Structure 1
Amino acid sequence: MESTGGQVAYSHGGFSLDSTGAGAVSRGFDTFRHGWQTQVGGAFPLPAFSQATTGDFRVRSRVAKVRDVAITDLDSASVIRTAGTPYGYADQARMYVVRRGTWTLGGAPDRAEHTVSAGQFLLRHGRPLHFGAAPHTTVQIITLPAAAFEPRLRNQSITASADSAEMRLLLAHTNMVHATVTDLGPAGVVAAHGALIELAKAVAAGRFDDTEPGLRPALNRAAKGLADRHLADPELSPAMLARELNVSVRTLQRAFTEAGESVSSYIRHRRLDEARRALTAQSRLPSVAELAAHWQFSDSSHFIRAFKKRYGQTPFEYARSAGTTGS
């Protein structure tokens, strides 16, 4: 959505595209360009793309714009390559976060000046560059106002690992923006934009201001994502999450308390959720003792009590009501 007059400060928009299916390839690039023009707008001009790219645009993409920040996720099954240098980016910086494959940028289509490999990011301000990638590349491109990084970044680049605590927080927030951008009201736009800028600055500086209350939703989301990947890990705890995210346990607890729960409660509830799925989704029904051990409950009795408190039934009763047999 494009806003005018006094509403410019609250402009936002977004769209998603999957042109990997056989019927969508022929119109994939046109659909992407239309979405970009209507939802992102002229403040973020698209470059000219190569004929190979426009003719075979097989990508999964989602794009979000919040004021003067644009977030573009690309998961490409085809070549992505520009054919002309983009214009209009003099006052913008770009961050390329590569999850799979390799992203290249150069002053000419055949001369790479920067190569960003999987697990790395490049934050760059300067003259526009061609860019491209081979098939099976996954990248997030965040376009930001250059003023947020001055004077540190003027006409310079920063390349580093994308596995830092600061980057985890930024990516958690960009995922949240993608999920909510079309529903944001004016206050939400301001909050989402402010957090994007502050988290991007934290990535550039290599440190996160954990006293900034506006960043707590991003911290909450990043911690949940990290916890979800380690639910079966006996070391999972508030202290472990705080250590991985480079914040104090108190700061982490505060981010969860504002959302109406504690870190420990979130971990326990997610482990119970996974145990409940195992009671109905597996071909071999696990025993209560196996579930308790796998999901890090101290013993079967503790697991049964916690399960009944959350779901109103014992594991055996739940499995029986779901049409399976209990242990």
Structure 2
Amino acid sequence: MLVSTDNSGATDKSAIWSRTISETYFPLSVQCHDPQAFNGSLRSWGLGILGLSEMHCDAVMYRRHKSHFAEEKDSSLLITIPQAGDVLFEQSSRETRCAPGSFLVEQGDMPYEFSHARRNKLWVLKVPTASVQSRLGPTERLSALTFDATSGVGSFFVGAVRNTIDSIEVINDAARELAGQHLLDLLCLSMRSDDRILDSSVSTIRAAHLQRAEQFIRDNLANPKLTPMLVAESCGISRRYLQGLFAENDCSVAGYIRDKRLTRCHETLTMGHDSSTMAQIAHKWGFYDHAQFCKHYRSRFGCTPTATRKKARTEAEHRPD
């Protein structure tokens, strides 16, 4: 999809931009220096569960208020990669400046302010919060953090975003969905390599053990032998101690494993062009009893796996090119 205010005859071009931004990402208030002269263009594409966009626009301020997300059921993160100039961001009492050569994490279910003082070019990924949580854990610690994209995995991730944009018009919908999964995995890998992510929320030995156990689980969801005993042994603690750590958070080890596996199954089922069978998807993420899988899936998502897949394929069939 391509939207531009350049050829619009409207007297308030900022209103068009506000509507475009809200429809592409989520509701935001937009403040422009000169609403009549404002110029912006935005291209956006669906990559399965991810959204990807490229925008060029004049100086602007975006504000996300509590009223914007009070009724939203599913939260998202925005990953902004500035190309032409710095952006300023404030959320959760954190203020940061993100320059070209880095990328910024914005949490959609919390108020924030985002601005750039001159015309800029941005790449933006919209990512389901649950998908990041299933790979990295709690996302609150990511809010307003900037990550280096000049070397290592961060550079690889941004390079993959660039290559995707360059190739997006010549690949089919199935390839776009796979590209989205690839970008999601690279994004989480690049953030995980930052010491702030693994250490920022750890304040006690028990918290450190819990975080290590949770990350081991998230990294081994596809292992059919993933059990509480394996987790405990891999983390160098007893099974009883491990169960106590999770009980303190009103959860069981098995329940945590099941929840993360259900999230990964849901990701695949929402890919309208994925050709895997229901059994293959369930087996890939450790579910070998179809009836139990369907029961837990319905309890978690409020519908059957079949209904999710049918909805995703219907939407894919009717999605404009």
TM-score, normalised to structure 2, is: 0.47
- CA radius of gyration, larger in: 1
